[in-house]
Amino acid sequence: GSNAMWGGRFAEGPDAIMEAINASIGFDRRLARQDVEGSRAHAAMLAAQGIVTEADAEAIREGLLTVLSEIEAGTFEFSTALEDIHMNVEARLTELIGPAAGRLHTARSRNDQVALDFRMWVRDQCDAAIDALPRLLSALVGQAEAGADWVMPGFTHLQTAQPVTWGHHMLAYAEMFARDLSRFEDARRRMNECPLGTAALAGTSFPIDREMTSAALGFDRPAANSLDAVSDRDFALEFLGASTICAMHLSRLAEELVIWSSAQFRFVALSDRWTTGSSIMPQKKNPDAAELLRAKIGRIFGAQVALTTVMKGLPLTYSKDMQEDKEQVFDAADALMLALAAMTGMVGDMTAQRENLEAAAASGFSTATDLADWLVRELGLPFREAHHVTGALVKMAEDRGADLPDLTLADMRSVHDGITDDVFGVLGVHNSVASRTSYGGTAPDNVRAQVARWMERLA
């Protein structure tokens, strides 16, 4: 039969495949709450402006609450023929309250309606990230506080570089996730303009009050240009952008947890709550949460590319292409929230293996730089010469299968005769980290000061 929504113009209904490619109700039902909220604010404004009667607005507003409660109770019957959440809600409203429902769409289009709903949904996700990130920060700061002076190897190229402290390494991630937090805050601030009332694309001739709906829906102001407001998806892209960077940070930490929990490293023990066993190998404790988290991040990167690609060829204003904005963002947001929660749980529960960290820190000639610095400081050697002398000593130790502190004073003096017994004082890893007191360095006192700063900030 003819179309229920625009039957006036259409003699024939859509092909079944057309209906399948056109329908978004399979996913945009997730916008139900935002759709009802937006419509309720719109109805109240229409009444306040004398565009519909108070009685009609009241019936609409009440009816919409009933629709929402049906959707939330799972008793609502969604129809693919009705395409999307907006049409489904309106059709049910008509069943419930009769012809007055038809007045709701005055001075509005699905174009500003979907722009509004989706923007509010993404805004909620920013809030969820802004809520979740401080919990992850607290878990990291908790680890840093416990291990402010635990020594571990610091790496470049995944080769032992210099000893660092566990606390310093944990706080490196705190810095990253705090920047992520501020990116979500920035994005939220910029997206908080209300598109409702821009109608199809040109605005409307009805005397609407956009300030009223904007304020009622928690926006800072109405969007200033109707063409932009119905066709802009920057807000979703910025959310994905912030999510992409945050996800990348999560994935790097997940990667470290996978490496650190291996038998070859044994830097951390992940708790039973975040690992799984093997059906055949009894000894196994696999870091599945970290691995899945690392993998799920791909969905977020993919969404960022997919939505930028959807948008890049669209002339102003709305094109149906834009219906493809939602699934990607829904999926990315789900992946991000799950990843944040899993990482927070893993970090909070994990146990750093202090002895293993310290033993690893002492291997791999990690204090060679300390030796070179000593030669500069005590003997006045140019750094380049000190580097050369130290390199020769490392080679000597390596040839013997020994470490730097295993060399004798005579060994040392055979390479440079100015070296004295004092040199052995700088070859220990605790001495090494304690000496890195420059601002931002790994010294335990610095870490403790940073922990205090973080605690104040998170309180």
Within 51-90, the residues that bind ligand ARG by CB under 6 A are 84
Which C-beta is closer to ligand ARG: that of 56 or that of 84?
Answer: 84
Sequence-ordered list of residues with C-beta below 8 angstroms from that of 295, at least 6 positions apart, any chain: none
Of 34, 111, 160, 226, the residue at the interface with ligand ARG (CB under 6 A) is: 111
What's the helix, strand, coil split of the chain in %, to 5? Answer: 70, 5, 25
For this structure, is 231 an active site residue? no
- Contact assessment for residue 112 and residue 230, using Cβ atoms and an 8 Å cutoff: yes
DSSP code at position 162: E
**Residue 153 φ/ψ, nearest 5 degrees:** -75, 135
Of 57, 187, 322, 350, the residue at the interface with ligand ARG (CB under 6 A) is: 322
Place of tokens 């700063």: 453
How is residue 327 written in tokens? 């699934």
**CA neighbours closer than 13 Å in the CB half-sphere of residue 230:** 21
Which residue type does 400 have? R
Asked if 289 interacts with ligand ARG (CB under 6 A), we say no
Of 261, 275, 323, 432, the residue at the interface with ligand ARG (CB under 6 A) is: 323
Distances (CA, A) of 450 to 149, 176, 397, 433: 13, 14, 37, 15
Query: What are the counts of helices (DSSP H) followed by strands (DSSP E) for the chain?
Result: 18, 6
Asked if 374 interacts with ligand ARG (CB under 6 A), we say no
Asked if 318 interacts with ligand ARG (CB under 6 A), we say yes
Residue of 113, 94, 109 whose CA lies nearest to 36: 113
Mark the segment that binds ligand ARG (CB under 6 A) among 6-14, 300-308, 315-323, 397-405: 315-323
Q: CB neighbours (10 Å) of residue 2?
A: 12
Mark the segment that binds ligand ARG (CB under 6 A) among 109-117, 354-362, 378-386, 426-434: 109-117
Of 57, 59, 97, 114, the residue at the interface with ligand ARG (CB under 6 A) is: 114
Asked if 235 interacts with ligand ARG (CB under 6 A), we say no
If residue 269 lies in a helix (H) or strand (E), which one and from where to where? Answer: strand 268-269
SS3 letters across 83-143: CCHHHHHHHHHHHHHHHHHHHCCCCCCHHHHHHHHHHHHHHHHHHHHHHHHHHHHHHHHHH
Which residue among the candidates 69, 182, 262, 278 is catalytic per the annotation? 278
Instruction: Report in angstroms how near the CB of residue 232 gets to ligand ARG at its nearest.
Output: 13
- Contact assessment for residue 120 and residue 38, using Cβ atoms and an 8 Å cutoff: yes
125 to 164: interface string for ligand ARG, x by CB under 6 A = ----------------------------------------
d(CA 362, CA 158): 15
Which C-beta is closer to ligand ARG: that of 317 or that of 390?
Answer: 317
d(CA 11, CA 3): 8
d(CA 47, CA 58): 9
Which residue among the candidates 157, 205, 279, 438 is catalytic per the annotation? 157
Mark the segment that binds ligand ARG (CB under 6 A) among 166-174, 320-328, 384-392, 436-444: 320-328
Sequence-ordered list of residues with C-beta below 8 angstroms from that of 41, at least 6 positions apart, any chain: 196, 212, 213, 216, 217
Mark the segment that binds ligand ARG (CB under 6 A) among 39-47, 217-225, 267-275, 317-325: 317-325
Instruction: Report in angstroms how near the CB of residue 349 gets to ligand ARG at its nearest.
Output: 41
Which C-beta is closer to ligand ARG: that of 37 or that of 370?
Answer: 37
Instruction: Report in angstroms how near the CB of residue 315 gets to ligand ARG at its nearest.
Output: 14
For this structure, is 278 an active site residue? yes
Asked if 34 interacts with ligand ARG (CB under 6 A), we say no
Residues in contact with ligand ARG, counted by CB under 6 A, come to a total of: 10
Which C-beta is closer to ligand ARG: that of 111 or that of 192?
Answer: 111
Instruction: Report in angstroms how near the CB of residue 119 gets to ligand ARG at its nearest.
Output: 12
DSSP for 43-67, written as a single string: HHHHHHTTSS-HHHHHHHHHHHHHH
Which C-beta is closer to ligand ARG: that of 320 or that of 413?
Answer: 320
Instruction: Report in angstroms how near the CB of residue 320 gets to ligand ARG at its nearest.
Output: 6
Mark the segment that binds ligand ARG (CB under 6 A) among 57-65, 108-116, 168-176, 241-249: 108-116
Asked if 231 interacts with ligand ARG (CB under 6 A), we say no
Mark the segment that binds ligand ARG (CB under 6 A) among 61-69, 106-114, 138-146, 179-187: 106-114
Which C-beta is closer to ligand ARG: that of 244 or that of 323?
Answer: 323
How is residue 49 written in tokens? 């402006």
Instruction: Report in angstroms how near the CB of residue 227 gets to ligand ARG at its nearest.
Output: 14
- In Å, the largest CA–CA distance within the chain is 101
Which C-beta is closer to ligand ARG: that of 13 or that of 364?
Answer: 13
How is residue 293 written in tokens? 């988290």
Q: Which residues are catalytic?
A: 157, 278
Residues that bind ligand ARG (CB under 6 A): 24, 28, 84, 110-111, 114, 318, 320, 322-323
